[in-house]
Protein backbone atom coordinates (compact mmCIF):
# COMPACT_ATOMS: atom_id res chain seq x y z
CA UNK A 1 0.00 0.00 0.00
CA UNK A 2 1.28 3.44 -0.91
CA UNK A 3 1.25 6.10 1.78
CA UNK A 4 -0.13 9.41 0.58
CA UNK A 5 2.60 12.05 1.09
CA UNK A 6 2.26 15.64 2.31
CA UNK A 7 2.58 17.39 -1.07
CA UNK A 8 4.64 20.32 0.25
CA UNK A 9 6.55 21.01 -2.99
CA UNK A 10 3.51 21.63 -5.19
CA UNK A 11 1.46 23.67 -2.73
CA UNK A 12 1.54 27.50 -2.85
CA UNK A 13 1.48 27.46 0.97
CA UNK A 14 1.22 24.78 3.61
CA UNK A 15 0.93 24.20 7.33
CA UNK A 16 3.30 22.60 9.83
CA UNK A 17 2.98 18.89 10.45
CA UNK A 18 4.75 16.46 12.80
CA UNK A 19 6.69 13.55 11.34
CA UNK A 20 5.45 10.14 12.31
CA UNK A 21 6.87 6.61 12.06
CA UNK A 22 5.95 3.11 13.11
CA UNK A 23 8.27 0.88 15.18
CA UNK A 24 8.21 -2.33 17.16
CA UNK A 25 10.70 -1.18 19.81
CA UNK A 26 10.40 1.77 22.13
CA UNK A 27 12.99 4.42 21.16
CA UNK A 28 15.19 5.74 23.96
CA UNK A 29 15.21 9.42 24.87
CA UNK A 30 11.71 9.94 23.56
CA UNK A 31 9.05 11.74 25.56
CA UNK A 32 6.26 9.28 26.34
CA UNK A 33 2.68 10.26 25.61
CA UNK A 34 0.31 8.55 28.05
CA UNK A 35 -3.47 8.94 28.00
CA UNK A 36 -4.87 9.06 31.53
CA UNK A 37 -8.46 8.99 32.66
CA UNK A 38 -10.45 10.25 35.62
CA UNK A 39 -12.32 7.39 37.23
CA UNK A 40 -12.36 6.99 41.00
CA UNK A 41 -9.18 9.04 40.91
CA UNK A 42 -6.47 9.49 38.31
CA UNK A 43 -6.10 6.26 36.34
CA UNK A 44 -3.07 5.15 34.33
CA UNK A 45 -3.42 2.67 31.48
CA UNK A 46 -1.64 -0.68 31.57
CA UNK A 47 1.22 -0.01 29.14
CA UNK A 48 4.88 -0.80 28.58
CA UNK A 49 5.45 2.95 28.37
CA UNK A 50 4.55 3.77 31.99
CA UNK A 51 7.01 3.63 34.89
CA UNK A 52 6.76 3.06 38.58
CA UNK A 53 6.21 6.30 40.41
CA UNK A 54 4.48 7.98 37.42
CA UNK A 55 1.01 7.88 38.98
CA UNK A 56 2.25 9.43 42.23
CA UNK A 57 4.21 12.10 40.34
CA UNK A 58 1.17 13.05 38.29
CA UNK A 59 -1.08 13.10 41.35
CA UNK A 60 1.40 15.32 43.15
CA UNK A 61 1.09 17.79 40.26
CA UNK A 62 -2.69 17.74 40.63
CA UNK A 63 -3.45 15.87 37.40
CA UNK A 64 -7.07 14.77 37.26
CA UNK A 65 -7.25 13.10 33.83
CA UNK A 66 -9.97 15.46 32.67
CA UNK A 67 -10.49 15.99 28.94
CA UNK A 68 -7.96 18.37 27.40
CA UNK A 69 -5.66 18.33 30.44
CA UNK A 70 -1.92 18.03 29.68
CA UNK A 71 0.59 17.31 32.47
CA UNK A 72 4.33 17.04 31.88
CA UNK A 73 6.55 15.37 34.42
CA UNK A 74 10.04 13.79 34.43
CA UNK A 75 10.36 10.41 36.19
CA UNK A 76 13.75 8.66 36.27
CA UNK A 77 15.06 10.90 33.50
CA UNK A 78 12.15 10.23 31.12
CA UNK A 79 9.71 12.99 30.15
CA UNK A 80 6.06 11.91 30.36
CA UNK A 81 3.28 13.85 28.71
CA UNK A 82 0.05 12.72 30.35
CA UNK A 83 -3.10 13.69 28.44
CA UNK A 84 -6.56 13.48 29.92
CA UNK A 85 -9.31 11.38 28.34
CA UNK A 86 -11.98 12.57 30.77
CA UNK A 87 -14.29 10.29 32.68
CA UNK A 88 -15.90 8.66 29.65
CA UNK A 89 -19.46 9.48 30.65
CA UNK A 90 -20.74 7.96 27.40
CA UNK A 91 -21.21 11.29 25.57
CA UNK A 92 -18.69 10.16 22.97
CA UNK A 93 -16.67 7.08 22.05
CA UNK A 94 -13.28 6.07 23.42
CA UNK A 95 -11.78 6.69 19.98
CA UNK A 96 -13.09 10.24 20.06
CA UNK A 97 -11.64 10.80 23.55
CA UNK A 98 -8.28 9.43 22.37
CA UNK A 99 -8.25 11.58 19.22
CA UNK A 100 -9.01 14.72 21.19
CA UNK A 101 -6.47 13.92 23.93
CA UNK A 102 -3.80 13.21 21.30
CA UNK A 103 -4.64 16.54 19.68
CA UNK A 104 -3.90 18.30 22.96
CA UNK A 105 -0.69 16.25 23.31
CA UNK A 106 0.42 17.25 19.81
CA UNK A 107 0.12 20.93 20.63
CA UNK A 108 2.11 20.35 23.84
CA UNK A 109 4.98 18.80 21.83
CA UNK A 110 6.42 22.15 20.74
CA UNK A 111 10.15 21.98 21.39
CA UNK A 112 10.10 18.20 21.96
CA UNK A 113 12.26 16.52 19.33
CA UNK A 114 11.13 12.93 19.82
CA UNK A 115 8.00 11.44 21.30
CA UNK A 116 6.61 7.93 21.55
CA UNK A 117 3.09 6.61 21.98
CA UNK A 118 1.63 3.12 22.09
CA UNK A 119 -0.57 1.65 19.36
CA UNK A 120 -2.56 -0.02 22.14
CA UNK A 121 -4.75 3.06 22.52
CA UNK A 122 -6.01 2.60 18.93
CA UNK A 123 -3.77 3.11 15.92
CA UNK A 124 -6.13 5.26 13.93
CA UNK A 125 -7.29 7.58 16.74
CA UNK A 126 -3.71 7.97 17.98
CA UNK A 127 -2.32 8.85 14.54
CA UNK A 128 -5.24 11.12 13.63
CA UNK A 129 -5.19 12.92 16.94
CA UNK A 130 -1.44 13.55 16.80
CA UNK A 131 -1.06 14.47 13.13
CA UNK A 132 -4.27 16.44 12.76
CA UNK A 133 -3.97 18.12 16.16
CA UNK A 134 -0.36 19.15 15.59
CA UNK A 135 -1.12 20.89 12.28
CA UNK A 136 -0.76 24.65 12.33
CA UNK A 137 -0.88 27.11 9.44
CA UNK A 138 1.51 30.08 9.61
CA UNK A 139 0.77 31.22 6.08
CA UNK A 140 3.59 33.24 4.58
CA UNK A 141 5.18 34.62 7.73
CA UNK A 142 8.78 35.51 6.97
CA UNK A 143 10.13 34.00 10.16
CA UNK A 144 8.06 30.88 10.03
CA UNK A 145 9.59 28.21 12.26
CA UNK A 146 11.40 25.84 9.95
CA UNK A 147 11.82 22.12 10.48
CA UNK A 148 11.14 22.23 14.15
CA UNK A 149 8.53 19.54 13.87
CA UNK A 150 8.77 16.61 16.26
CA UNK A 151 9.29 13.03 15.24
CA UNK A 152 6.62 10.83 16.78
CA UNK A 153 7.05 7.06 16.99
CA UNK A 154 4.01 4.83 17.30
CA UNK A 155 5.09 1.53 18.85
CA UNK A 156 3.03 -1.54 18.14
CA UNK A 157 3.05 -5.04 16.74
CA UNK A 158 3.73 -5.77 13.09
CA UNK A 159 -0.04 -6.40 12.68
CA UNK A 160 -0.63 -2.69 13.33
CA UNK A 161 1.60 -1.51 10.49
CA UNK A 162 -0.98 -1.52 7.67
CA UNK A 163 -3.50 0.30 9.83
CA UNK A 164 -0.81 2.84 10.69
CA UNK A 165 -0.05 3.50 7.00
CA UNK A 166 -3.75 3.88 6.23
CA UNK A 167 -4.19 6.37 9.07
CA UNK A 168 -1.21 8.43 7.87
CA UNK A 169 -2.67 8.53 4.35
CA UNK A 170 -5.98 9.77 5.69
CA UNK A 171 -4.21 12.45 7.75
CA UNK A 172 -2.18 13.60 4.77
CA UNK A 173 -5.39 13.81 2.75
CA UNK A 174 -6.99 15.98 5.45
CA UNK A 175 -3.79 18.06 5.50
CA UNK A 176 -3.94 18.52 1.72
CA UNK A 177 -7.49 19.85 2.02
CA UNK A 178 -6.49 22.12 4.91
CA UNK A 179 -3.46 23.53 3.07
CA UNK A 180 -5.54 24.31 -0.02
CA UNK A 181 -8.35 25.89 1.97
CA UNK A 182 -5.92 27.95 4.08
CA UNK A 183 -4.11 29.33 1.03
CA UNK A 184 -5.05 32.95 0.21
CA UNK A 185 -6.96 33.52 -3.03
CA UNK A 186 -4.22 35.59 -4.70
CA UNK A 187 -2.10 32.42 -4.57
CA UNK A 188 -4.84 29.92 -5.44
CA UNK A 189 -7.25 30.65 -8.29
CA UNK A 190 -8.95 28.31 -10.76
CA UNK A 191 -6.16 27.90 -13.33
CA UNK A 192 -3.35 27.06 -10.88
CA UNK A 193 -5.72 25.15 -8.59
CA UNK A 194 -6.67 22.93 -11.55
CA UNK A 195 -3.01 22.33 -12.44
CA UNK A 196 -2.23 21.56 -8.83
CA UNK A 197 -5.11 19.06 -8.75
CA UNK A 198 -3.65 17.49 -11.89
CA UNK A 199 -0.18 17.16 -10.34
CA UNK A 200 -1.38 15.83 -7.00
CA UNK A 201 -3.98 13.56 -8.63
CA UNK A 202 -1.54 12.02 -11.10
CA UNK A 203 1.07 11.52 -8.37
CA UNK A 204 -1.61 9.62 -6.43
CA UNK A 205 -2.47 7.33 -9.35
CA UNK A 206 -5.55 9.11 -10.70
CA UNK A 207 -6.43 10.06 -14.27
CA UNK A 208 -7.01 13.81 -14.56
CA UNK A 209 -8.79 15.92 -17.15
CA UNK A 210 -9.11 19.72 -16.96
CA UNK A 211 -11.73 21.70 -18.89
CA UNK A 212 -10.78 25.36 -19.43
CA UNK A 213 -13.15 28.32 -19.89
CA UNK A 214 -13.40 27.87 -23.67
CA UNK A 215 -14.30 24.19 -23.44
CA UNK A 216 -16.74 24.93 -20.62
CA UNK A 217 -18.55 27.51 -22.70
CA UNK A 218 -18.50 25.38 -25.85
CA UNK A 219 -19.88 22.35 -24.05
CA UNK A 220 -22.71 24.25 -22.40
CA UNK A 221 -21.55 24.56 -18.80
CA UNK A 222 -23.62 27.71 -18.40
CA UNK A 223 -23.50 27.84 -14.59
CA UNK A 224 -19.73 27.65 -14.25
CA UNK A 225 -19.32 30.07 -17.16
CA UNK A 226 -21.77 32.60 -15.69
CA UNK A 227 -20.17 32.61 -12.22
CA UNK A 228 -16.65 32.76 -13.68
CA UNK A 229 -17.26 35.46 -16.29
CA UNK A 230 -16.83 38.37 -13.87
CA UNK A 231 -13.26 37.47 -13.01
CA UNK A 232 -9.89 37.93 -14.71
CA UNK A 233 -9.18 34.41 -13.43
CA UNK A 234 -11.25 32.15 -15.71
CA UNK A 235 -13.10 29.07 -14.41
CA UNK A 236 -12.16 25.40 -14.65
CA UNK A 237 -13.81 22.01 -14.24
CA UNK A 238 -11.48 19.24 -13.09
CA UNK A 239 -12.38 15.57 -13.54
CA UNK A 240 -10.37 13.00 -11.53
CA UNK A 241 -10.84 9.28 -12.01
CA UNK A 242 -9.86 6.38 -9.76
CA UNK A 243 -10.79 3.16 -11.59
CA UNK A 244 -9.49 0.03 -9.86
CA UNK A 245 -10.16 -3.19 -11.76
CA UNK A 246 -11.83 -4.76 -8.74
CA UNK A 247 -14.54 -2.08 -8.59
CA UNK A 248 -18.17 -3.14 -8.87
CA UNK A 249 -19.62 0.08 -7.41
CA UNK A 250 -19.28 3.57 -8.87
CA UNK A 251 -19.40 6.84 -6.97
CA UNK A 252 -19.35 10.39 -8.28
CA UNK A 253 -17.94 13.06 -5.98
CA UNK A 254 -18.67 16.72 -6.67
CA UNK A 255 -17.13 19.70 -4.86
CA UNK A 256 -17.63 23.46 -4.83
CA UNK A 257 -14.46 25.24 -5.84
CA UNK A 258 -15.15 28.97 -5.52
CA UNK A 259 -11.59 30.19 -4.94
CA UNK A 260 -12.99 33.49 -3.64
CA UNK A 261 -16.58 34.53 -3.09
CA UNK A 262 -17.19 38.28 -3.05
CA UNK A 263 -20.88 37.62 -3.73
CA UNK A 264 -20.49 39.12 -7.22
CA UNK A 265 -22.85 42.01 -8.10
CA UNK A 266 -24.91 40.94 -5.04
CA UNK A 267 -21.78 41.98 -3.13
CA UNK A 268 -21.15 40.69 0.38
CA UNK A 269 -20.50 43.12 3.26
CA UNK A 270 -16.79 43.90 3.82
CA UNK A 271 -16.71 42.60 7.37
CA UNK A 272 -15.53 38.99 7.41
CA UNK A 273 -15.31 38.73 3.64
CA UNK A 274 -11.68 37.56 3.93
CA UNK A 275 -13.00 34.25 5.21
CA UNK A 276 -14.31 33.50 1.73
CA UNK A 277 -10.86 32.13 0.84
CA UNK A 278 -12.39 28.90 2.18
CA UNK A 279 -15.18 28.72 -0.39
CA UNK A 280 -13.36 26.01 -2.34
CA UNK A 281 -13.36 23.65 0.66
CA UNK A 282 -15.79 21.17 -0.90
CA UNK A 283 -13.61 20.68 -3.98
CA UNK A 284 -10.46 20.36 -1.85
CA UNK A 285 -12.18 17.66 0.23
CA UNK A 286 -13.22 15.81 -2.92
CA UNK A 287 -9.66 15.93 -4.33
CA UNK A 288 -8.17 14.81 -1.01
CA UNK A 289 -10.67 11.99 -0.51
CA UNK A 290 -10.07 10.66 -4.03
CA UNK A 291 -6.28 10.68 -3.50
CA UNK A 292 -6.80 8.88 -0.18
CA UNK A 293 -9.06 6.29 -1.84
CA UNK A 294 -6.25 5.54 -4.30
CA UNK A 295 -3.62 5.30 -1.54
CA UNK A 296 -5.92 3.00 0.47
CA UNK A 297 -6.79 1.07 -2.69
CA UNK A 298 -10.52 1.30 -1.97
CA UNK A 299 -12.26 -0.92 -4.55
CA UNK A 300 -14.83 1.56 -5.92
CA UNK A 301 -14.74 3.54 -9.12
CA UNK A 302 -14.62 7.25 -8.35
CA UNK A 303 -15.28 10.11 -10.73
CA UNK A 304 -14.58 13.35 -8.89
CA UNK A 305 -15.57 16.76 -10.21
CA UNK A 306 -14.12 20.03 -8.92
CA UNK A 307 -16.15 23.04 -10.13
CA UNK A 308 -13.83 26.05 -9.93
CA UNK A 309 -14.58 29.74 -10.39
CA UNK A 310 -13.85 33.07 -8.75
CA UNK A 311 -17.04 35.02 -7.94
CA UNK A 312 -16.22 38.68 -8.67
CA UNK A 313 -18.23 41.85 -9.44
CA UNK A 314 -17.11 43.57 -12.63
CA UNK A 315 -18.34 44.91 -15.96
CA UNK A 316 -18.42 41.38 -17.30
CA UNK A 317 -20.06 39.81 -14.24
CA UNK A 318 -23.47 38.18 -14.39
CA UNK A 319 -26.40 40.26 -13.12
CA UNK A 320 -29.38 39.51 -10.93
CA UNK A 321 -32.19 38.75 -13.37
CA UNK A 322 -29.95 36.97 -15.87
CA UNK A 323 -31.24 33.64 -17.17
CA UNK A 324 -28.58 30.99 -17.63
CA UNK A 325 -28.69 27.52 -19.20
CA UNK A 326 -27.05 24.79 -17.15
CA UNK A 327 -25.24 21.77 -18.56
CA UNK A 328 -28.01 19.43 -19.73
CA UNK A 329 -30.44 22.26 -20.56
CA UNK A 330 -32.25 23.32 -17.37
CA UNK A 331 -32.60 27.12 -17.31
CA UNK A 332 -32.26 29.20 -14.17
CA UNK A 333 -33.07 32.76 -13.20
CA UNK A 334 -30.22 34.25 -11.16
CA UNK A 335 -31.97 36.17 -8.38
CA UNK A 336 -28.86 36.59 -6.26
CA UNK A 337 -25.32 36.29 -7.64
CA UNK A 338 -24.10 35.38 -4.15
CA UNK A 339 -25.96 32.07 -4.44
CA UNK A 340 -23.22 31.07 -6.89
CA UNK A 341 -22.18 27.73 -5.45
CA UNK A 342 -25.35 25.98 -6.56
CA UNK A 343 -24.85 27.41 -10.08
CA UNK A 344 -21.42 25.82 -10.57
CA UNK A 345 -22.45 22.63 -8.76
CA UNK A 346 -25.56 22.18 -10.90
CA UNK A 347 -23.41 21.88 -14.04
CA UNK A 348 -20.99 19.47 -12.39
CA UNK A 349 -23.79 17.31 -10.94
CA UNK A 350 -25.51 17.15 -14.33
CA UNK A 351 -22.26 16.13 -16.01
CA UNK A 352 -21.42 13.57 -13.30
CA UNK A 353 -24.93 12.08 -13.64
CA UNK A 354 -24.36 11.46 -17.35
CA UNK A 355 -22.07 8.54 -16.44
CA UNK A 356 -24.86 7.06 -14.33
CA UNK A 357 -22.93 6.33 -11.12
CA UNK A 358 -24.52 4.25 -8.36
CA UNK A 359 -23.99 7.08 -5.86
CA UNK A 360 -23.33 10.80 -6.06
CA UNK A 361 -21.92 12.70 -3.08
CA UNK A 362 -21.54 16.45 -3.34
CA UNK A 363 -20.02 18.72 -0.72
CA UNK A 364 -19.78 22.49 -0.47
CA UNK A 365 -19.48 25.52 1.76
CA UNK A 366 -22.90 26.39 0.44
CA UNK A 367 -25.03 28.42 2.84
CA UNK A 368 -24.85 30.71 5.83
CA UNK A 369 -28.14 29.05 6.76
CA UNK A 370 -26.17 25.89 7.64
CA UNK A 371 -24.67 27.61 10.67
CA UNK A 372 -27.98 29.08 11.71
CA UNK A 373 -29.52 25.61 11.67
CA UNK A 374 -26.69 23.44 13.00
CA UNK A 375 -24.04 25.68 14.50
CA UNK A 376 -20.36 25.95 13.83
CA UNK A 377 -19.21 22.32 13.92
CA UNK A 378 -22.03 20.13 12.63
CA UNK A 379 -22.62 19.83 8.91
CA UNK A 380 -25.99 19.21 7.28
CA UNK A 381 -26.62 16.20 5.04
CA UNK A 382 -29.54 16.11 2.59
CA UNK A 383 -30.49 13.80 -0.26
CA UNK A 384 -31.62 10.18 -0.67
CA UNK A 385 -32.74 8.79 2.70
CA UNK A 386 -30.35 5.86 2.97
CA UNK A 387 -27.15 7.50 1.72
CA UNK A 388 -27.90 10.66 3.73
CA UNK A 389 -28.30 8.67 6.94
CA UNK A 390 -25.21 6.55 6.27
CA UNK A 391 -23.12 9.68 5.84
CA UNK A 392 -24.50 11.43 8.93
CA UNK A 393 -23.91 8.34 11.10
CA UNK A 394 -20.42 7.75 9.69
CA UNK A 395 -19.62 11.39 10.36
CA UNK A 396 -20.63 11.20 14.01
CA UNK A 397 -18.62 8.02 14.59
CA UNK A 398 -15.55 9.84 13.27
CA UNK A 399 -16.17 12.94 15.38
CA UNK A 400 -16.76 15.01 12.23
CA UNK A 401 -20.33 15.59 13.30
CA UNK A 402 -23.08 15.61 10.68
CA UNK A 403 -26.85 15.64 10.88
CA UNK A 404 -29.55 14.56 8.43
CA UNK A 405 -31.77 17.44 7.27
CA UNK A 406 -35.01 17.23 5.28
CA UNK A 407 -35.90 18.37 1.81
CA UNK A 408 -38.86 20.76 2.21
CA UNK A 409 -42.02 20.33 0.20
CA UNK A 410 -42.78 24.06 0.04
CA UNK A 411 -39.52 24.65 -1.81
CA UNK A 412 -40.84 22.66 -4.79
CA UNK A 413 -43.21 25.61 -5.36
CA UNK A 414 -40.83 28.36 -4.28
CA UNK A 415 -38.15 27.33 -6.75
CA UNK A 416 -40.39 28.07 -9.74
CA UNK A 417 -39.49 31.11 -11.85
CA UNK A 418 -41.65 33.17 -14.20
CA UNK A 419 -38.89 33.30 -16.83
CA UNK A 420 -36.89 30.08 -16.40
CA UNK A 421 -37.32 26.50 -15.20
CA UNK A 422 -36.09 27.42 -11.72
CA UNK A 423 -34.57 30.32 -9.78
CA UNK A 424 -31.54 30.27 -7.52
CA UNK A 425 -32.98 31.66 -4.26
CA UNK A 426 -36.31 31.60 -2.43
CA UNK A 427 -37.89 34.93 -1.56
CA UNK A 428 -38.13 34.67 2.22
CA UNK A 429 -34.86 32.74 2.68
CA UNK A 430 -36.46 30.35 5.21
CA UNK A 431 -34.80 26.95 5.13
CA UNK A 432 -31.94 28.38 3.08
CA UNK A 433 -29.80 25.26 3.44
CA UNK A 434 -32.64 22.98 2.38
CA UNK A 435 -33.62 25.23 -0.53
CA UNK A 436 -30.10 24.89 -1.92
CA UNK A 437 -30.50 21.10 -1.71
CA UNK A 438 -33.78 21.31 -3.65
CA UNK A 439 -31.95 23.31 -6.32
CA UNK A 440 -29.16 20.73 -6.60
CA UNK A 441 -31.62 17.82 -6.64
CA UNK A 442 -32.97 19.04 -10.00
CA UNK A 443 -29.67 18.07 -11.61
CA UNK A 444 -29.19 14.60 -10.15
CA UNK A 445 -29.86 11.85 -12.69
CA UNK A 446 -32.75 9.48 -12.13
CA UNK A 447 -32.11 6.43 -9.99
CA UNK A 448 -28.84 7.80 -8.57
CA UNK A 449 -28.63 7.75 -4.77
CA UNK A 450 -27.24 11.12 -3.82
CA UNK A 451 -26.25 13.29 -0.89
CA UNK A 452 -25.42 16.96 -0.41
CA UNK A 453 -23.11 17.82 2.50
CA UNK A 454 -23.16 21.51 3.52
CA UNK A 455 -19.94 22.26 5.43
CA UNK A 456 -20.15 26.08 5.29
CA UNK A 457 -19.13 26.49 8.91
CA UNK A 458 -17.47 23.14 9.86
CA UNK A 459 -14.87 23.57 7.09
CA UNK A 460 -13.45 26.68 8.75
CA UNK A 461 -12.73 27.15 12.45
CA UNK A 462 -12.98 30.84 13.34
CA UNK A 463 -12.03 30.15 16.96
CA UNK A 464 -8.88 28.72 18.53
CA UNK A 465 -7.67 25.13 18.24
CA UNK A 466 -9.70 22.50 20.12
CA UNK A 467 -9.24 18.75 20.32
CA UNK A 468 -7.45 17.92 17.08
CA UNK A 469 -9.06 20.78 15.14
CA UNK A 470 -6.77 23.73 14.35
CA UNK A 471 -7.74 27.33 13.67
CA UNK A 472 -8.85 28.10 10.09
CA UNK A 473 -9.23 25.15 7.68
CA UNK A 474 -10.36 21.93 9.35
CA UNK A 475 -10.35 19.49 6.41
CA UNK A 476 -13.98 18.53 7.08
CA UNK A 477 -15.53 16.36 5.56
CA UNK A 478 -12.55 14.42 4.12
CA UNK A 479 -12.58 11.62 6.71
CA UNK A 480 -16.33 11.17 6.40
CA UNK A 481 -16.14 10.83 2.61
CA UNK A 482 -13.25 8.35 2.77
CA UNK A 483 -15.05 6.15 5.30
CA UNK A 484 -18.29 6.36 3.33
CA UNK A 485 -16.42 5.20 0.21
CA UNK A 486 -15.04 2.24 2.16
CA UNK A 487 -18.57 1.33 3.26
CA UNK A 488 -20.01 1.66 -0.24
CA UNK A 489 -17.24 -0.62 -1.52
CA UNK A 490 -18.36 -3.28 0.94
CA UNK A 491 -22.00 -3.16 -0.20
Positions touching ligand BES (CB under 6 A) are 261, 279, 336, 338-341, 365-369, 425, 432, 456
Q: Which is nearer to Mn ion, 367 or 461 (CB)?
A: 367
Contact string 256-275 vs Mn ion (x = CB under 5 A): -----x--------------
Q: Are 38 and 84 in contact (CB under 8 A)?
A: yes
Residue 331 three-state SS: strand
Q: Which one of 301, 342, 377, 423 is the catalytic residue?
A: 342
Q: Which of 72, 219, 268, 396 is catalytic?
A: 268
Is 138 assigned a ligand-binding role in the annotation? no
Say whether 256 counts as a known binding-site residue: yes
SS (HEC) of 278-298: HCCHHHHHHHHHHHHHHHCCC
Residue sitting closest to ligand BES (CB)? 368
DSSP letter (8 states) at residue 273 = G
* C-alpha closest to that of 151 among 121, 179, 116, 120: 116
**Any contact of residue 261 with Zn ion (CB under 5 A)?**
yes
Query: How many residues sit in the footprint of Mn ion (CB under 5 A)?
Result: 3
Which CB atom, from 245 or from 413, has the smaller least distance to ligand BES? 413
Contact by Cβ (8 Å): 296, 246? no
Residue 338 annotated as binding? yes
Site map (CB under 5 A) of Zn ion, residues 59-98, x = contact: ----------------------------------------
Strands lying side by side in the sheet with 301-311: 207-211, 236-242, 301-311, 250-261, 359-364, 449-454, 379-383, 402-404
Which residue lies nearest Mn ion, judged by its C-beta?
A: 338
Name every residue whose Cβ is closer than 8 Å to that of residue 488 and which is 6 or more positions away in sequence: 249, 251, 300, 358, 359
By CB under 5 A, tell whether 255 contacts Zn ion.
no
d(CA 72, CA 69): 10
- Residue 16 bears catalytic tag: no
Is 214 marked active-site? no
Strands of 119-204, DSSP E: 151-155
Residue 306 is classified by DSSP as E
**Of residues 133 and 341, the one with the C-beta less far from ligand BES:** 341
Q: Does 279 bind Zn ion (CB under 5 A)?
A: yes
Name which of Zn ion, Mn ion, ligand BES, none residue 350 binds, using a CB cut-off of 5 to 8 Å depending on partner kind.
none
Site residues, Zn ion (CB under 5 A): 258, 261, 279, 341
The residues annotated as belonging to the active site are 268, 342
Contact residues: Mn ion, CB under 5 A: 261, 338, 340
Amino acid sequence: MAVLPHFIDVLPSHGRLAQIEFAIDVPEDAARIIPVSSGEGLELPVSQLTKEGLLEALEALGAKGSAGEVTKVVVDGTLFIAVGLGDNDGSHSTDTAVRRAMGAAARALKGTERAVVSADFGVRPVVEGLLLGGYAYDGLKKNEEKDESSLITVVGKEDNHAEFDAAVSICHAVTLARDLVNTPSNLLYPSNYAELARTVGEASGLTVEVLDEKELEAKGFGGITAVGQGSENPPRLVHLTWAPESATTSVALVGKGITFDTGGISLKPASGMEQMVMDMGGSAAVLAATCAAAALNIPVRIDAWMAMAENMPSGSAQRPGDVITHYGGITSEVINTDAEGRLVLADAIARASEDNPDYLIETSTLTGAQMVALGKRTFGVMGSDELRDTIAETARELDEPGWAMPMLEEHDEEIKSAVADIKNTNADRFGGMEFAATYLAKFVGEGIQWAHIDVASPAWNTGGAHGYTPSRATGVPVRTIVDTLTQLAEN
